[in-house]
Amino acid sequence: MIKRSAYQLLLVAMVLVGSVHAQSNGLIESVSAKPVKVFILAGQSNMEGKATVALLQHQMMQPETKKLFAHLHNKGELIERDDVYIKFLERNGKLTAGFGSPNRIGPELQFGFSMGDRLEEPVLLIKTAWGGKSLFRDFRSPSAGLPGGEVLDSQLVKEQKRKPEMTLSDVKKSYGFYYREMINEIQETLSKIGDFIPSYDIEAGYEIAGFVWFQGWNDMMKPDFVAAYPENMAHFIRDVRKDLECPGLPFVVGVLGVGGVRGERVNGKKIEFKRNQAAVGAMEEFKGNVAIVQTDQYWDVEADAVFTNGWKENLEEWKRIGSDRPYHYLGSVKCYNRIGSAFAEALLQLSSDENNSSDLVEEYQNFLTKNLVAWCIVPFDAKNRGPADRAEMVRDLGFNRVAYDWREKHIPEFEQEIIEYKKNGLEYFAFWNWHESMASLIQKYQIQPQIWDMFRGKLPEGTEEEKTLFVVQQFLPKAQRANELGLKFGIYSHGGWAGKPENLVAVCERLRRQHGLSNVGIVYSFHHGHEDIADFSNVFKSLQPFLLCLNLNGMADPETVNRRTHANQILPIGKGLHEAKMIREVIKAGYDGPIGIIGHRADEDVKESLSANLIGLETLLNEMNGSADPEN
């Protein structure tokens, strides 16, 4: 520990006790309402940041990207924040572009801008990041102890090949070296915080308001490092809180996302590591105070395409879109900015009062697994299960209700599917599209599935009214047939004009009012509603009177979604940035109708997709509900 003057130690004690713990100890009788908000950003090279400032300066002036970066400059001049300051090892000052690696940008830029825009208090970012470091060794925290003797002896042998003078004591000292450097850097900065915040008021003090951890590449390289990650991360969080005297400090873990959600750069080793890295978020002691941010959803697919196609052969194009290797997120400014924004949002959510409401979800039975609807199963069944195995799989996951999505080859199985659902105690909740052979089966087996259908075809040119009438006419025969059989008919949101909330409502109202079809309603799916995120509260209120079912999904930022390849469109619940807020709005609105969980993933079997969504939903609900554990 670096020695401090008596005055510095007294100052730190006064501020920590007065501001962090918000208590009076006789040294400070009262504290300001607006202490400096201190956020710590720690990790390895991707926390340093590897996107060049030159790339930002180019993209902020281009028509296709200028909107993304308009807030970072004024007529081409990069903005320096007067309310957000940063200390990154030997560099400090007002936050602007360039506080990553030299002349580069990391998550700190958009993180700081997001916090500055959302908070009234001045903000100080303390960034402690060094490239090529592992949690297993370099950032290993005190309570994790040293690894076993065999590990140390093996490492000594390797080290002595390079440095013969190396001793076992030297090896032991290397464990946790950068953890200690990190804590020293934070404490030293806070001891003279006035040097970094010009208007710092000692009476107002400061509050350590959040910690962001973004690291992982070096641990992913070794199986024993991967296996130990959950335990080492738990020790790290506990020790940081202890050493900074901040019990319950809001903590964000950014999960390694190199390669994106899917694609050639995603492999089993990465998937396993990401699971272990995120595992700390599910530990009971960290529920509600640790957030997991999956950074794979912010992968720059456009930059990746250019890199993969040969960045050297396409150098001029590459300079306009990327600036580093894939393991550094391609040096994409878009990617680092989105990650920084997600880190800020996650911390703000952890700190919000509504996130800690203990009774938020207790009364909503429709979120219990036994009441959820399993949806998008058959077309995404990689194991090609038959009706019996499929029904058993759904039952074993805990579902009691199924919406059946078929293809032409499944028509001969319609009856057997119904039989197997009945055998397994499953409700045949909905039937996709319509096939007349179902009419007799519905009557024979006395089932009452909702009929779900979407608009197909091309809209004619014309007014909004003319388009509405055209869509109404397409749905009318099926809606009438469903009504004859005593079934509800759901207009499915599937993008395009007919999938916009206001048009769904207009078509639904016309079928009800003009044609007397009170059985008509709306089935709204998150994964077709990225354009609705910004105004979701109002969107949901407009849809709620008509909703027959609401299907959930992880929601990335709209600008990261590729409609052609479906990249980032269909994420597991809990891996997106916006679904927690959207689900909270659903609960606030008092919606108690059916909720679907989708298995719509082309890159994995439907059982894995459904399981991931169930786990993600449970985790989000637990976080909203404090430490409560909803029944499953």
What number of other Cβ atoms are within 10 A of residue 479's Cβ? 26
pLDDT at 269: 85
pLDDT at 626: 58
Spatial neighbors of 451 by CB under 8 A, at least 6 apart, are 430, 431, 433, 434, 478, 482, 487, 488, 489, 490
343 and 371 part of one domain = no
pLDDT at 15: 38
Query: What is the CATH number for 45?
Result: 3.40.50.1110
Whether residue 357 is contained in a domain is answered as no
Domain closes at, from 301, 328, 351: 351
489 and 564 part of one domain = yes
Length of the chain as a residue count:
632
Task: Let me know: does 454 contact 471? Beta carbons within 8 Å.
Answer: no
Structure tokens, 290: 């640790």
Whether residue 132 is contained in a domain is answered as yes
421 and 564 part of one domain = yes
Report residue 440 CA to chain centroid gap: 45
DSSP-H helix ranges across 368-500 = 387-396, 414-423, 437-445, 464-484
Task: Let me know: does 378 contact 407? Beta carbons within 8 Å.
Answer: yes
501 and 553 part of one domain = yes
Whether residue 146 is contained in a domain is answered as no
pLDDT at 363: 55
338 and 393 part of one domain = no
Give CA–CA dist 228/380, Å, rounded.
33
Give CA–CA dist 216/253, Å, rounded.
10
Whether residue 151 is contained in a domain is answered as no
92 residue type, one letter: N
Residue with tokens 């009012």: 513
Classify each residue of 361-375 as buried b or exposed e, where b means 16 or more C-beta atoms within 10 Å of its C-beta.
beebeebbbebbbbb
387 and 342 part of one domain = no
Whether residue 356 is contained in a domain is answered as no
Give CA–CA dist 88/410, Å, rounded.
60
The mean pLDDT values, 10 residues at a time, for the chain of 632 residues are: 34 38 35 79 97 97 92 96 97 97 97 95 97 96 93 90 91 96 98 93 94 96 94 97 95 93 76 90 88 88 91 94 96 95 90 49 74 90 89 91 92 94 92 94 94 92 93 96 95 91 94 94 94 91 94 90 79 90 90 91 83 89 60 37
Whether residue 240 is contained in a domain is answered as yes
387 and 258 part of one domain = no
Three state DSSP letters for 97-123: CCECCECEECCHHHHHHHHHHHCCCCE
344 and 398 part of one domain = no
Q: Which domain covers residue 196, as residue numbers? A: 6-141+176-351
Whether residue 632 is contained in a domain is answered as no
Task: Let me know: does 478 contact 434? Beta carbons within 8 Å.
Answer: yes
Query: What is the CATH number for 498?
Result: 3.20.20.150
390 and 525 part of one domain = yes
Which one, of 525, 527, 520, 528, lies nearest residue 546 by Cα? 520
267 and 377 part of one domain = no
Domain closes at, from 294, 316, 351: 351
341 and 387 part of one domain = no
Structure tokens, 87: 């200390």
Give CA–CA dist 357/621, Å, rounded.
11
Count of domains for the chain: 2
476 and 529 part of one domain = yes
Structure tokens, 214: 């973004």
Domain closes at, from 351, 382, 409: 351
Task: Let me know: does 539 contact 496? Beta carbons within 8 Å.
Answer: no
Task: Let me know: does 530 contact 560? Beta carbons within 8 Å.
Answer: no
Give CA–CA dist 164/160, Å, rounded.
4
Which residues are 350's β-sheet partners?
none
Give CA–CA dist 278/607, Å, rounded.
20
DSSP-H helix ranges across 60-214 = 66-69, 108-118, 149-162, 168-174, 177-191
Measured N-to-C along each axis, helices 536-543 and 579-588 cross at an angle, to the nearest 10 degrees, of: 50
Structure tokens, 131: 């490239």
Whether residue 342 is contained in a domain is answered as yes
